[in-house]
Structure 1
Amino acid sequence: MTTTGHGTTTHLEKVEAPGSMLTHAAAKALAVLRVSTGFVFLWAFFDKTFGWGYATPAAKAWINGGSPTKGFLSSVEVGPFQSFFHSIAGDTWTNWAFMLGLLGIGVALTAGIGLRIAAGALALMMAMMWAAEWPLASGSSNPVTDYHFIYAVVGIVLALTYAGHTWGLGRQWARLPIVQKNRWLI
């Protein structure tokens, strides 16, 4: 219960985390954003792994010998990193790093745990994908603020607002002794 400057009393529903206050509605909206964004990455992981036929046909699924990175990275046509991306397209380590990134980000966001690490991984993945597409020269309708930037910002906002505490395992995760000793794991 708080008192406004006009002498009236209001009831604020809040979810508290260190250094923050969110209304229940805001916490729920962030939880929906977190789970939805996590699902984007989980879906990409499973579609590329099993070839569900949305972005990846079954014949090109990772489990059927397809490469989750070869098509995208070998088709990079602009930017100063074009030769670099062509050189790593389809490499085993590139496929594993990309797929583990998709899975890790997706699980962390969906479950609401390890959001700081997930935010860092998400920002790094989006920066690399932005560099591969190089919107500055590829004819993008907005060369700076595109979906790569938005996803990176979403990850950072989710980590900074303790979005895993609502409809997630964030509170339980934060109580683990290893997380208590290493706050960067939150």
Structure 2
Amino acid sequence: MSTRTEITRTAPARSALDAPAARVFIALTRIALGFVYLWAFVDKLFGFGVATPPEGSVLAGQSPSAGYLSHTEGALSGMFQALAGNPVVDVLFMLGLGAVGAAFISGIGLRLAALGGTFVMGGIYLSMLPLSNNPIVDEHLLYVLMGWMLAAIGAGSALGLGAWWQSLSWVRGRRWLY
């Protein structure tokens, strides 16, 4: 006589990331990170006097990279000082700040935003080595890691346009555009 084994089906385990409160905090983290980049872009462009005085703004004809890069003192300062004021570096820096900020705020293209953020904040991190307060970690490295974490968990669909973006026919299947 055979014994019948009954298999009970259970719902797949839910991740804590699926909880409504977690999705709200993920979205707020994504938007706040985007604002870090976008504010730096806007302040350097217009010179609101917070980090960039009006006379130091891009619209006043100033280089957004010269002020910082020409005064680096770290181990790689020679390399970064050579980049100071270079028009190509200035354009890439401003495009990086603006595009990364807009992507994180909207939830669109987070993988590309994480890559762009790695170049922008990773470059700033490298320009500061050795760090003065902590031998390994500062906020620039945290911004890079946070960007990749948000991209990895698909944070663009948490109160953002990520799900809509991924549903577009020319984006669907191209995971690097997510």
TM-score normalised per structure 1: 0.84
- Tell me which of 128, 132, 148 is aligned to 1:133: 128
SS at match of 2:59: helix
**Deviates further, 175-184 or 87-96:** 175-184
- Tell me which of 33, 54, 57 is aligned to 1:58: 54
Q: Deviations over 1:3-55 (max 9, x none)?
A: xxxxxxxxx9x7x9xxx952111111000000011011111100000011100
Q: In 2, Cα distance between the equivalents of 1:167 and 1:21? A: 13
The residue number in structure 2 matching 1:156 is: 148
- Tell me which of 107, 113, 120 is aligned to 2:102: 107
- Cα RMSD for the two superposed structures: 1.7
Task: Say yes or no: does 1:35 pair with 2:35.
Answer: no
SS at match of 2:18: strand
The residue number in structure 1 matching 2:160 is: 168
TM-score normalised per structure 2: 0.88
Q: Which runs of 5+ in 1 are unaligned?
A: 1-11
Q: Which runs of 5+ in 2 are unaligned?
A: 1-12
Aligned AA for 2:56? Answer: K
Name the structure, 1 or 2, with higher relative contact order (CA <8 Å, separation 6+). 2
Q: Deviations over 1:56-87 (max 9, x none)?
A: 111111011011100100001121x2211111
Q: In 2, Cα distance between the equivalents of 1:181 and 1:22? A: 23
Q: In 2, Cα distance between the equivalents of 1:108 and 1:183? A: 15
The residue number in structure 2 matching 1:93 is: 88
**Identity rate, percent:** 39
Q: In 1, Cα distance between the equivalents of 2:96 and 2:88? A: 12
The residue number in structure 2 matching 1:143 is: 135
Q: In 2, Cα distance between the equivalents of 1:96 and 1:124? A: 13
User: What count of residue pairs does the alignment treat as equivalent?
Assistant: 166
Q: Any conservation in 1 of the 2:17–2:23 contact (CA below 8 Å)?
A: no
Q: Which has the higher strand share?
A: 1
Aligned AA for 1:164? Answer: G
Larger radius of gyration: 2
Q: In 2, Cα distance between the equivalents of 1:94 and 1:164? A: 28
Q: In 1, Cα distance between the equivalents of 2:100 and 2:135? A: 25
SS at match of 1:63: coil
4+ residue runs over 2 A deviation: none
Q: In 2, Cα distance between the equivalents of 1:183 and 1:67? A: 35
